[in-house]
Amino acid sequence: MPDGTYAPRQCNGFTQVCWCVDTDSGAAIEGTETQPDQGYLLDCTATEVHQPELPPDDLTLCQTDRWEAERANTRGAEEVFSPLCTAAGAYEPLQYHIEGYFTCVDFNGVEVSRHDSQVDCLTPCRRQAYYAETDNLFSGTSTFVPQCDENGAFSSVQCDAASRTCHCVGDNGEEIPNTKITTNNPELVTSTQLECDRYNPSVVRPNTAARLIFAQGMGVNSVLLPVASDSASTRLYSRTGRTAIGV
């Protein structure tokens, strides 16, 4: 234009596709692009300039992706993937796609694996830790984050640095009663110190046999307990001069 601004209508000379622009910035006005060879019908002088709508500043990355996808889908174009977000705004570990498949994603929404059906992307411990960490990050909460072992299972001893306490948990991560202690160094507490295996009913303990030691005559003898049969019991208790010492 003579004043140095953009002409309100811009066209591709080869395809004859035209669109309206903001005369100050030259930015294309959404929804004004014509079909090929129909650009001459476009009247940009009567077109109201609309600046592109931007997402709110306080959205998380997942919420921003979802916001943009929902607006793109309302414009009637080809459907765009809209991610699932947690209540705090993090990406849900499992995402469903309109093409009919599922993906496991990381904290940034990047695909880790793809599946034909629903799967558990995280172990129960890692899933609980993920939700707690993202809630604390995005919502400013102080939710306890469980510790998981290298296989993703709940560590048998769980410690909270904020409250300076440690306690034992079962395989499901639930606290075992009467195991909580207070300590100034929770990071140094081990399951052995708390005897977590002793309180965990799921721990298989070795079947150690007890032995009864007794004196008989001039010597000391022993027998495994419990006595396996009536005959063995009869032989044990009918021995002359027997004196039980202990187990």
Tell me whether residue 152 is in a domain: yes
pLDDT for the residue numbered 202: 63
Task: Clarify whether residues 106 and 83 are in a common domain.
Answer: yes
> Domain for residue 22, yes or no?
yes
CATH of the domain at 164: 4.10.800.10
CA–CA separation, 57 and 67 (whole Å): 12
pTM > 0.75: yes or no: no
Q: Is residue 204 part of a domain?
A: no
Domain count, the chain: 4
Task: Answer whether residue 205 is part of any domain.
Answer: no
The neighbour count for residue 168, using CB atoms within 10 Å, is 23
The pLDDT assigned to 107 comes to 94
Q: Helices then strands (H, E): number in the chain?
A: 5, 11
Where is mean pLDDT largest: 28-32, 67-71, 142-146, 196-200? Answer: 142-146
Q: Which is higher by pLDDT, 151 or 243?
A: 151
The whole domain housing 163 covers 125-199
3-class SS at 211? strand
In a domain, 101, yes or no: yes
Task: Provide mean pLDDT across the span 129-152.
Answer: 95
Dmax of the chain from CA atoms?
Answer: 128
| pLDDT category of residue 213 using cuts at 50, 70 and 90 | low
